[in-house]
């Protein structure tokens, strides 16, 4: 059994209760005390971890039991929190909400149990008084394995309101660890996919995080919260290690399954039924190394990763896995840089908001041409969601790279949710038949949705093929977490060597 960093999980009865304000403020408040704080987010969200990183000075890391498997939640937590004094984990949605139709899978409650961490429940008290006791009692008693160690009351209107709430909660047996009043300054702007990312509002984001820290410091008992965190249980796993994960995670082809997904304008794919079976998961936790991410060798293969305000969605483990596989990872900004980094052997373009910056991305014609030229050499290119849009002919009428014979546009419909997927075509990321889990999160449409060689067969909510595989390009709406299938990174870097 290991004795990892003290930790808290910040949860709520529902979305919109104030989890991000409390979690980010708590991270910043502990950091202001001189503590090294490890920030984590339950689920696939990319935006909240940006605020967490601003609050702590460390990379925000996701803990997603659906994308990576429950067996990796503890190891990934230990990897991210190595050397820290305390960890704060922000939950997702309501405490017991997880992947649709999958019970507790990917819920905040499941992650709290896997981490043996106490939960602090953030309650929006704006429209209740005595009823708060019934709500807290219900959440505290629903699952006896979930330990709710305290409550933080949010949006409290007055001293009298606070008095009524505390009086009611005395009977619930759950201590009140903080009371936050309504403060407009803490509000952070949102748009079509949630909060505006930190990279797009750096100065304003700094002010917002400072305001959250001040509110939490003033309204919460930080000493009591730190003591609660210190009571977290020991974990029996070892820290995840990128190099070790690469060594124990081969990506063999699967046996060819039978029918399932229909191709747009074509016959059903012979790989579709693979999504019926369980996804490939190890029988137990993967072997873990105690410490250390091997640096890329000097003069190693250079993989360019898109960044800047238009491409902010990335999991920290992706770059770590690429480095462990032997790549030198270099970030560039498609809004400003007119050329790819010198010596680029492979390109990764993750998620973000190219629709917000379509005119600026289009105006950078030298870089668009450089991306097209790289593709024509057969170099590997992995593009997810925003990257898919950038490789299309156009986005909302603005010329993009033109690598894919497809057009993209904004849509009024939100596409959101976890997906089971199977690789339809051999690509730079996977051999046909490889099963993975991912998630979609966009308000755009690409037409057509799949090329002659599709990237994935996807199940949920409807069975379909989507994405594009051509030359060295793998482009898809599906966001994946490579820690769940490290062989993806190794295959990509190997293709960089041979292309």
Q: Are 458 and 297 in contact (CB under 8 A)?
A: no
Q: Are 149 and 228 in contact (CB under 8 A)?
A: yes
Main-chain dihedrals φ then ψ at residue 180, nearest 5 degrees = -115, 130
Distances (CA, A) of 209 to 8, 251, 286, 380, 484: 19, 41, 37, 38, 31
Task: Provide the angle, in degrees to the nearest 10, between the axes of the packed helices 73-81 and 108-115.
Answer: 70
401 is catalytic: no
The Cβ of residue 480 has, within 10 Å, a number of other Cβ atoms equal to 25
**Angle at CA 135, nearest 5°, toward 134 and 136?**
95
Strands (E), 157-308: 176-181, 190-191, 194-195, 301-306
Q: Which residue's entry shows tokens 């069975």?
A: 463
DSSP state of 440: E
**Cβ-proximal residues to 34 (8 Å cutoff; 6+ apart), any chain:** none
Sign of torsion over alpha carbons 61, 63, 68, 73: positive
What is the total residue count of the chain? 499
Distance of CA 480 to the CA centre of its chain: 9
Peptide bond into 448 cis (omega under 30): yes
State both tokens at 80.
């991210």
**Angle at CA 409, nearest 5°, toward 420 and 371?**
80
Pairing of strands 119-124, 7-11: parallel
DSSP state of 234: P
Q: Are 435 and 255 in contact (CB under 8 A)?
A: no
Catalytic residue, from 84, 385, 401, 496: name it.
385
Q: Which of 228, 171, 203 is nearest to 26 (CA)?
A: 228
Sign of torsion over alpha carbons 334, 456, 316, 203: positive
182/152 Cα distance (integer angstroms): 13
State both tokens at 228.
């609660």
365/343 Cα distance (integer angstroms): 20
- Which residues are the active-site residues? 385
């Amino acid at each position: 059994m290991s004795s990892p960093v003290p930790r808290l999980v910040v949860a709520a009865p529902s979305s919109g209760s104030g989890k991000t304000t409390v979690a980010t403020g708590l991270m910043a408040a502990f950091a202001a005390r001189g503590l090294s704080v490890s920030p984590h987010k339950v689920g696939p969200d990319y935006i909240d971890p940006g605020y967490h990183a601003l609050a702590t000075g460390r990379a925000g890391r996701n803990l997603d039991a659906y994308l990576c498997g429950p067996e990796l939640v503890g190891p990934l937590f230990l990897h991210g929190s190595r050397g820290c004094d305390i960890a704060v984990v922000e939950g997702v949605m309501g405490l017991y909400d997880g992947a649709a139709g999958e019970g507790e899978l990917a819920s905040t409650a499941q992650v709290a149990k896997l981490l043996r961490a106490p939960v602090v429940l953030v309650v929006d008290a704006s429209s209740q008084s005595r009823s708060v006791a019934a709500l807290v009692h219900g959440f505290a008693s629903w699952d006896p394995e979930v330990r709710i160690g305290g409550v933080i009351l949010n949006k409290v209107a007055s001293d009298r309101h606070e008095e009524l709430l505390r009086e009611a909660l005395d009977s619930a047996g759950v201590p009140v660890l903080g009371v936050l009043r309504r403060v407009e300054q803490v509000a952070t702007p949102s748009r079509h996919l949630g909060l505006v990312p930190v990279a797009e509002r750096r100065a304003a984001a700094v002010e917002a995080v400072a305001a959250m820290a001040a509110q939490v410091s003033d309204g919460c008992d930080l000493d009591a919260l730190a003591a609660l965190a210190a009571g977290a249980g020991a974990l029996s796993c070892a820290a995840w290690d990128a190099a070790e994960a690469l060594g124990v995670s081969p990506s063999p082809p699967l046996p060819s399954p039978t029918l399932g997904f229909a191709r747009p304008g074509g016959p059903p794919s012979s790989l579709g039924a693979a999504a019926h079976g369980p996804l490939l998961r190890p029988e137990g936790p993967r072997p873990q190394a105690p410490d250390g991410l091997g640096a890329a060798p000097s003069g190693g293969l250079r993989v360019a990763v898109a960044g800047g305000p238009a491409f902010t969605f990335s999991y920290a483990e992706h770059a770590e896995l690429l480095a462990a596989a032997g790549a030198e990872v270099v970030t560039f900004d498609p809004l400003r840089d007119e050329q790819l980094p010198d010596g680029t052997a492979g390109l990764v373009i993750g998620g973000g908001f190219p629709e917000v910056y379509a005119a600026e991305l289009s105006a950078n014609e030298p870089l668009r041409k450089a991306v097209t030229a790289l593709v024509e050499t057969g170099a590997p290119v992995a593009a997810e969601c925003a990257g898919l849009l950038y490789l299309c002919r156009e986005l909302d009428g603005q010329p993009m790279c033109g690598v894919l014979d497809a057009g993209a546009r904004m849509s009024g419909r939100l596409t959101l949710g976890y997906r089971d997927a199977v690789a339809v075509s051999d690509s730079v990321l996977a051999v046909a038949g490889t099963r993975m889990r991912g998630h979609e999160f966009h308000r755009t449409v690409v037409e057509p949705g799949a090329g002659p060689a599709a990237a994935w067969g996807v199940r949920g909510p409807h069975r379909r093929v989507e994405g594009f595989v051509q030359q060295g390009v793998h482009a898809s709406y599906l966001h994946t977490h490579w820690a769940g299938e490290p062989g993806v990174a190794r295959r990509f870097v190997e293709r960089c060597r041979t292309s």
